[in-house]
Amino acid sequence: MTLTEQLGEVVGRITESKIQARRQHTSLTECLWGGHESGVKVIAEIKPASPTEGRLISPDDVSGPLRAFERGGASAVSVLVDSMYFGGSMELLSRVRSMTTLPVLAKGVFFEPLHLAECAVAGADACLLMTRVLDCTDASLSELMSVGRALRMEAVVEAATPEEIETVTQQGARLILVNARNIYTDLSIDRRNIAAAHGLDRECVLIAASGIFGPADVEQVYRDSGLRVDAVLVGTHLMKSDDVASSVRELVMCGQNVVTGG
């Protein structure tokens, strides 16, 4: 099946009402852009479990964390859809979408148009595309981004090196995520990975993911990025917090202070 045929099948699975509904939500780009100048934003993640921490929360009861994200001032929500390692699902993504008006990012291993269709049906405003996963398949980043646009979804593209970042931005990626966790080797955390984004075009949005466990980590990734990070994506720290709203608020305030010098 050609990409055109796949795209036709994908779009055919999305009802016009769902596409129209997604248009009513503020885009992830609009919510995060310029954070390195106005205040580093927070993407709060619903993460039922992790390979390193085990079970964190029940996927059946996420209304509490979501309300806390909103009270704390999060700019967007991320949802893990992988069931094996993170306890997520497309059904969880759909429920989160129904509970919040914040932009929702679907995080998983996506490399086919139909994967993106599932995210769109569940109501995602954006989906994660991992360059190294795509390199291991026949998937094309530019083609998948085209599919995403047809489905009214933005692509958050994960890249790990200056070369990868240059390649994906040349293909049109504008939401760039750099992961501090070395997921392809030993799962260790190295917040210095963000330095790969030095010199990133200011028209792009830079997201730092993993290894954010408090304000000090926000300060570090902001410095290590060359004062370029627009947003931090935080999951485990919030899922383990006894006061999620306060933890989000603390990160949001830190994100503002590192920019303003407050």
Domains, the chain, ranges and CATH? 3-260 (3.20.20.70)
Counting Cβ atoms within 10 Å, is residue 104 exposed (0-12), middle (13-18) or buried (19+)?
A: buried
pLDDT at 135: 80
pLDDT at 161: 86
More confident residue, 185 or 257: 257
- pLDDT at residue 262 above 80? no
- pLDDT at residue 69 above 90? yes
Among 164-168, 172-176, 247-251, name the one with the lowest average pLDDT: 164-168
The alpha carbon torsion through 137, 138, 144, 147 (nearest 10 deg) reads: -130
Is residue 168 a contact partner of residue 159, using CB atoms and an 8 Å limit?
Answer: yes
- pLDDT at residue 8 above 70? no
Counting Cβ atoms within 10 Å, is residue 125 exposed (0-12), middle (13-18) or buried (19+)?
A: buried
* pLDDT one-digit tens code per residue, 13-23: 555 555 555 55
Mean pLDDT of the chain: 88
